[in-house]
Amino acid sequence: MRLSFHGAVGGVTGSCYLLECAGRRVLLECGLVQGGREAEQLNRAPFPVPAESLDAVVLSHAHIDHSGRLPLLVQQGFSGRIYAQRATTDLCDIMLRDAAYLQEKDAETENRKRARKGLPPLPPLYDTRDAEKTLQHFESLDYGEIVAVAPGIRLRLRDAGHILGSAIVELWVSEDDATRKVVFSGDLGLRDAPILRDPELVHEADAVLLESTYGDRRHRSREESLQEMGEIFARAHADGGNILIPAFAVGRTQELLYLFMRHFDAWGLKHWRVCLDSPMAIRATEVYASHVGLHDADAVALWRGQGDGLAGRLEFIRTPQQSRALNKVRSGLVIVAASGMCEGGRIRHHLKNQLWRPRCHVVIVGYQARGTTGRQLVDGNAYVSLWGEAIRVKAQVHTIGGFSAHADQEGLVDWYRGFHHRPPVWLVHGEDDARAALAQRLQQVTGARVRVPQLGDVLELGELPGRG
């Protein structure tokens, strides 16, 4: 029985962990690496074992940094089942098709450059046919359901409160007469966050894999963040400019729409055209609406009210022509568009047309990984590069941390406190400084035995004392 680490250790994208037991292999997560020039090479790198040798994949949620290499896995011969919560399956139907389309478009752009240099073309990482084949492998589960994903390996998913369908993964691994329980936090949400229920607590484990995205900081209070957002709306209205909000199509966008409904009057949204400029986010919003049973009580009550004020101001921007038309409007627009880290999607076109305008306000409401355009904006770069052109940043850039979909340091520690007997914990899905800070905090507060794994490290489960 062993678990090895092959992605999202020392970073927050490309999640990938391999569980091996009694000759069986199960991959936990199969995420795309995002940000930086080296991402393409990393995504094309071999999987830790041949794809055809895997018995199953377990997926914690639909975000591309956790699911985005699945079509490549299928392309290379994977024939097993992909186990995920029911809403995650529905979201992956959207996200994997979109990811494949982007891979094809990126390959077209790159190959035009290669042709001008006399170089042979490169195929996309995968295409839409690979994505469609991948969707046939999904096995949808409800929270709390226990299933055998391979001989000797059982699975249960618990609500992680991060995005719709996000899951804490419980795995019971048995070999000979020994059984060990591994719990992977997935991406944990905040307590009392809009729309979703709070992350569930798990009490027993022999080993815990804990995300550490915000392991080195505490978020601003939600109340302060809501007040700041209202102040930005007021200032932008007085300036006579537009507001650009890069947002993840799944999770953050739906939370923003919820907040726009709830604070329609307080934020003066009657003065604005609110444009959701992302076909994927529009489809994801429809999936959220179809899984109301996973929402918390406040969200259910608000959806039933239909958010009448916002309904009169909200526009779904579906076509490229509609999106381009927004570039002619110099004031009164709130544009919510993907991608959340400004690495792709329509937000980049809006940034190119608006960043150099002093009256424009850019509101960053999500995590920005190193090497991304969004991170450059957060870091205060004077210029950012978009399609090879240096764009002067004259817009007013605001970073609001309280809208994160990830638990902060104290939230992660509090979740870990739910375990009896303080099982050993391995920190994943975080940059090294965040993992180091969280490790220190966990040791101080709980006395936990904390490890900070590196790529290729192996955890021998059979050597752990069994309690879970």
* 110 has pLDDT over 70: yes
CATH for 2-217+405-463, options being 3.50.50.60, 3.30.420.40, 3.60.15.10, 3.80.10.10: 3.60.15.10
pLDDT confidence of residue 260: 94
pLDDT confidence of residue 306: 55
pLDDT confidence of residue 113: 92
User: Which band of pLDDT confidence, cut at 50, 70 and 90, is reported for residue 34?
Assistant: confident
Strands 178-184 and 167-175, by their bridges, are antiparallel
DSSP string for 228-294: HHHHHHHHHHHHT--EEEE--TTTHHHHHHHHHHHTTTTTTGGG-EEEE--HHHHHHHHHHHHTGGG
pTM of the model: 0.90
Strands 389-392 and 458-460, by their bridges, are unpaired
pLDDT confidence of residue 344: 86
Average pLDDT along the chain: 94
Q: What is the pLDDT of residues 319-329, one digit of tens each?
A: 999 999 999 99
Amino acid at 374: G
* 301 has pLDDT over 80: no
- As a whole number of angstroms, the distance between CA 34 and CA 28 comes to 18
- As a whole number of angstroms, the distance between CA 38 and CA 287 comes to 33
Q: What percent of the chain has pLDDT over 70?
A: 98
User: Looking at domain 222-403, which CATH architecture does it have?
Assistant: 3-Layer(aba) Sandwich (3.40)
pLDDT confidence of residue 428: 98
Query: What is the DSSP-derived secondary structure letter of residue 9?
Result: S
Amino acid at 141: L
| More confident of the two residues 228 and 313 | 228
- Find the mean pLDDT for residues 196-218: 96
The domain spans of the chain are 2-217+405-463, 222-403
- Find the mean pLDDT for residues 461-466: 90
Same fold yes or no, 2-217+405-463 and 222-403:
no
- As a whole number of angstroms, the distance between CA 83 and CA 137 comes to 9
Contact between 258 and 302 (Cβ < 8 Å): yes
* 302 has pLDDT over 80: no
Contact between 405 and 366 (Cβ < 8 Å): yes
What stretch of H or E contains 432? helix 432-446
Q: Which of 254, 248, 265, 258 is nearest to 298 (CA)?
A: 258
pLDDT confidence of residue 199: 97
Q: What is the pLDDT of residues 185-194, one digit of tens each?
A: 999 999 988 8
Q: What is the pLDDT of residues 149-181, one digit of tens each?
A: 999 999 999 999 999 999 999 999 999 999 999
CA 429 to chain centre: 11
Q: What is the pLDDT of residues 211-244, one digit of tens each?
A: 999 999 998 888 999 999 999 999 999 999 999 9
pLDDT confidence of residue 120: 96
Q: What is the pLDDT of residues 41-73, one digit of tens each?
A: 899 999 999 999 999 999 999 999 999 999 999
